[in-house]
Amino acid sequence: MTQTFTTDPELRPTPEFKTDEYVPLKKEVYVKKETGLDAMAGDGGYQEGTLAGAIRMKMRRDNKRFWAGDNISDYLHDSDKEHLIDEATTAFEKVLDALLIDRENDPNSKGTARRLAKMYFNEVMAGRYEQAPDATAFPNDSQDRYEGMLVVRSELRSMCSHHHQPVSGVAYIGIIAAEKLIGLSKYTRIAQWCARRGTLQEELCNDIAREIMKATASENVAVYVQAVHGCCENRGIMAHSSLTQTTVLRGTFKDDPHTKKEFFDNIKLQQEFAPR
Ligand SMILES: [Zn+2]
C-alpha cells in the first residue's frame, strides 16, 4: 500500500507553491445517476466518458474477463471499432507526447498514433475483437471415412502480452479425425485467430487446442508450437536464436505413446519438408 503524505498548508505552507498561481489540471468527471454505470463510480478511472470505458464497465459488471489474450467480440458492435480506433489514437498521441516525440514536425511520427491504433485493432490484436472464424464442418461418417491422423502446419504471428513484442513461429496441429471434418485452411484460421492477441505461448497453445476441439468435436487433439519471442531478442537477454517450444496433448495423444510418437514423427517430416 502506498501512503501519500501531504503537508498541511495551515501548519507548514510550502513556500514555492502559491495556489493563486496554479490551476487544477484534472477535471472532475461525472456520470448520470441510475444508468447502471453510477454503481461503479469511483472505481479506478472507469468513469472517463469513453466508449472503451463503457465497454469495460459492462464487462466488469458481467464478470467477463478481458485479459490481453481474451476474445471480447461479444461486447462489441460492428460500428464500435472505428470509434475505438479514434479513442486509441488520442491515447497513443498522449503516449508519444509523454515519450517527448515531436509528432507535429517529425514526418515519420505524424500519423503514428493512428497507425498504432489501427494496427492493434485490425492486425496484431484482431483476434480479441473478431468473432471466431466460421469453420463449417463436413460429416465424416461414411463407410470409408478417414480415421487417420491429420497434422497441419500453421504459420503464427503473435505478440507477448508482457512487452507487446512480436512472437513468430509455427503451430503443428494434430487431430484424429472424428465424425466431423473442417476444411484444412480452417485449422490455420483458428490458430491465427487465437494468436492475434496479446498472449503467453503456453496459453496460446491451450487456446488453439480448445478451439480446434470445439470446431471439430474431436477429443483427440495435439498442438505443438515453436516460436521466437521479440521480448528475448530485442530487449532483456538479447538472445537472437532462442526458441520456445510448447506442447498440449489431449485424449489419445496424451494416453497412447504410439499416437504421440506418430505426431512428433510427422512434425519432423514436416520440418524436413519446410524448415522454418
Ligand atoms: Zn514479453
Tens of pLDDT, residues 67-101 = 999 999 999 998 899 999 999 999 999 999 999 99
* DSSP E strand stretches across the chain: 137-139, 149-160, 166-176, 180-182, 198-199, 221-229, 244-249
C-beta of residue 243 within 8 angstroms of C-beta of residue 228: yes
Q: 3-12, 51-60, 71-80, 97-106: which range is least confident on average?
A: 3-12
For 133, phi then psi, to 5°, come to -60, 145
Q: 58-62, 97-101, 156-160, 175-179: which range is least confident on average?
A: 175-179
Q: How far is the CA of 40 from the centre of ligand 1 (A)?
A: 32
pLDDT tens digits along 186-221: 999 999 999 999 999 999 999 999 999 999 999 999
Q: How far is the CA of 205 from the centre of ligand 1 (A)?
A: 16
Q: How far is the CA of 265 from the centre of ligand 1 (A)?
A: 30
Could you report how far apart the first and last alpha carbons of the chain are, in Å? 48
pTM: 0.80
Structure confidence at residue 37 (pLDDT): 54
Q: How far is the CA of 7 from the centre of ligand 1 (A)?
A: 41
Q: What percentage of the chain's residues is helix, strand, coil (to nearest 5)?
A: 40, 15, 45
Distance of CA 30 to the CA centre of its chain: 31
CA gap 219, 260 in Å, rounded: 14
Rounded to an integer, the average pLDDT of 33-44 is: 51
Structure confidence at residue 7 (pLDDT): 54
Q: How far is the CA of 69 from the centre of ligand 1 (A)?
A: 13
